[in-house]
Amino acid sequence: MIARPAAGRGLPAVRFELRASVLVLAMIFLAWAGLLWREWRPPAGPFAPMISDGWGLAGAADYGFSLLLGAVGMMGPLGIPAARHVALSSFRSRRVEAVVIFIASFAFVWVGFGFAASQVLDVLSRWFGSLAINTSLLASVVAAAGWQLLPWKRTALRDCHRAVPLPPRGWAATKGDLTFGAIYGFRCVQACGGLMLPMFAATHGHLLLGVLATATALSERRLHLLRRRPWLVSVGVIGLAVVVGLAGARSDMRLIGWICAIPDN
């Protein structure tokens, strides 16, 4: 048997437990600080620059950075259980590195999704810009509601907890963390990507919509009711959109109407 240490020795039990979660929470906090700063002092140019407009790589990189902040800030909470798994499955000597690599890989998948989604929605708004409604926002709401009912969403939600074996050291370990982050990111996009679409289509209030989407995604993970009845979220999305749309028609409902204002372009 292993002999127990003398009384009074030993580190506080919670120190290790907190380290991994604190690291991820710190990353989320910093990402939100960046997002709020950019809301207060937005960069010049359209929200979602079209590369084909000649906005250029600098604009695209700037937008990509804001997507990265959004991915870490809004999707980070969904990645905490997996990040904790990465921490526990890694040697102590490379734990921080493993978690950072995982979160970065996870976030970059969301950046890719964000780029693709915003470009598609921007094309829609340009094609139907003359209409009296925000077409891309309407399309994103319909897509968000319909996404909930797709079988691949349910599959992704079921597979959320599945991990991959992580090699313990060397380049294989780094590759393992990258791979797991990417796989986890893809499953996350598959499960929750639809909920994020209105955020890309809205003219303003992206952060508010992003927070709502994250809260909904977290609720789906935790509540059996929502997992068994995904149409409830669909109904919620459409209901919220109807409320926002009706309120937007009233000029005195400024905050809500502001979200679905027709874009200037």
Q: Which spans of this chain sit near other proteins (rule: CB under 8 A)?
A: 1-5, 9-11, 13-17, 81, 85, 88-93, 154-155, 157-169, 172, 224, 227-228
User: By C-alpha distance, which of 81, 59, 88, 68 is closest to 28?
Assistant: 68
User: By C-alpha distance, which of 208, 222, 175 is closest to 78?
Assistant: 222
User: By C-alpha distance, which of 248, 253, 195, 189 is closest to 219?
Assistant: 195
Cβ proximity to other proteins, 110 vs 180, nearer residue = 180
First-residue to last-residue Cα distance in the chain? 74
At closest approach, how far in Å is the CB of 17 from other proteins?
6
At closest approach, how far in Å is the CB of 76 from other proteins?
18
Cβ proximity to other proteins, 50 vs 160, nearer residue = 160
At closest approach, how far in Å is the CB of 1 from other proteins?
7
Cβ proximity to other proteins, 21 vs 119, nearer residue = 21
At closest approach, how far in Å is the CB of 85 from other proteins?
5
At closest approach, how far in Å is the CB of 3 from other proteins?
8
Rg (CA), the chain: 21
Long-range contacts, stretch 204-208, CB < 8 angstroms, 24+ apart: 204/258, 204/259, 204/261, 205/255, 205/258, 205/259, 206/47, 206/70, 207/35, 207/36, 207/39, 208/259
Cβ proximity to other proteins, 56 vs 168, nearer residue = 168
Cβ proximity to other proteins, 98 vs 197, nearer residue = 98
DSSP 8-class letter at 191 = H
